[in-house]
Amino acid sequence: MKNYFNVAISVLMLTCSTSLMAQNEVKEDFKPSSYNQPGQQYPMVNSQGYARFQVNAPEAQAVSVSLGLGGRGGTKLAKDDKGLWGSTTEGAMDEGFHYYHLTVDGGILNDPGALNFYGSARWESGIEIPAHDADFYALKDVPHGFVQQVLFHSPSTNSERRAFVYTPPTYGKDKKSYPVLYLQHGWGEDETAWTNQGHANLIMDNLIAEGKIQPFIIVMTHGMTNDIKFGKIGEFTAKEFEQVLVDELVPYIDSHFRTKADKADRAMAGLSMGGVETKLITLRRTETFGSYGLLSGGTYAPSDMKTKDQARLIFMSCGSKERPESVKKSAEDLKAAGFNAVSFVSEGTAHEFLTWRRSLYQMAQLLFK
């Protein structure tokens, strides 16, 4: 009987081990990332979300990629007899967009095979892990809006500044005036982030084509957050940017575009540090913005509000791998106090662009109703 149980346990362990190995087996269906340079095969991604890298550096002594699992220093590449360094991430990456860079013999470099995106206060390589719900930000055969660069003078900073403005497909084809969302990037990014990494224009085009929202304008400008050092966020006031945004850019947009130039039809939202400055500015300039959005950028509390009619909508979101309980509780507290507050949690994501793409998709359907 004892031998019988030993054999049974051995068979069970072997079965479990074989099953686990099958679950962890990396599928060899890798394809070039959608963010590769033209004609480049690497980096690659597979259907499970693994990323594979290859770098031609025959004279290098050590090469690694900053992407990996659990903050373990990224993925170390191995060199073959042709001088090519390559490896695959230990596990599947979160779906969506990720910044990364190479470290070659101690020096930080971008991957020559990948397109570059402004993040971490520098140009970084980018890779896209295909998401199961990517349809809402996909490039489709629908009417497209226009993203244009505008340059405006800032007396407060004595400089010429830049913003990108998304106008919906119907803009210019009618005589209507449109609501405006001022949408801010996060720390280390700039005014290109929401269209390049976030696909804000495609999200809007698809929502409009599906009849899920009334068209509105989006304005994206540099939030002046990149000089903030880690550990110093508590000292950040956003007052310099507040003057640029509220006293200079908003009047410029209202005078150069057909906008509904009133509080009820003007919103402000931002991701991460852009959410931090959104909260600071909306609470100080209650006469300017009628709807607020914090995307992985903190929360509002009933005690923050001066009057019951201060905001038409308070939208707060984050990834399920962040602090969803805080976002949900804040929305519940605000609703209990009589405010129109909504929380959204992006399932399976962390502090990353798929969280914020999904957040914009949800928030856009609630704005200006």
Query: pLDDT (tens digit, 9 = 90+) per residue, 130-188?
Result: 999 999 999 999 999 999 999 999 999 999 999 999 999 999 999 999 999 999 999 99
Beta bridge partners of 165: 148, 219
Q: Quote the pTM value.
A: 0.91
Q: DSSP characters for 189-216?
A: --TTHHHHTT-HHHHHHHHHHTT-S---
Domain 31-130: assigned CATH number: 2.60.40.10
Percent of the chain predicted with pLDDT > 70: 92
So what's the pLDDT on residue 8? 40
Q: DSSP characters for 111-144?
A: -TTB-EEEETTEEEEEEEE--TTGGGGS--SS--
Domains of the chain, residue spans: 31-130, 135-364
∠ CA 196-199-201, rounded to 5°: 110
Task: Please indicate whether the domains covering 31-130 and 135-364 agree at the CATH topology level.
Answer: no
Domain covering 135-364, topology = Rossmann fold (3.40.50)
Query: pLDDT (tens digit, 9 = 90+) per residue, 296-350?
Result: 999 999 999 999 999 999 999 999 999 999 999 999 999 999 999 999 999 999 9
Q: Which residue type does 178 have? A: Y
> Nearest-CA neighbor of 188 among 315, 101, 250, 113?
101
Residue 3 pLDDT exceeds 60: no
End-to-end CA distance of the chain: 73
So what's the pLDDT on residue 234? 74
So what's the pLDDT on residue 228? 75
The whole-angstrom separation of Cα 183 and Cα 137 is 17
Cis amide linkage into residue 43, ω under 30° from 0: yes
Q: Identify the residue with better confidence: 7 or 294.
A: 294
Residue 18 pLDDT exceeds 70: no
Query: pLDDT (tens digit, 9 = 90+) per residue, 62-121?
Result: 999 998 644 456 899 999 999 999 999 999 999 999 999 999 999 999 999 999 999 988
So what's the pLDDT on residue 19? 38
Beta bridge partners of 160: 153
Residue 27 pLDDT exceeds 60: yes
| Mean pLDDT over the full length of the chain | 91
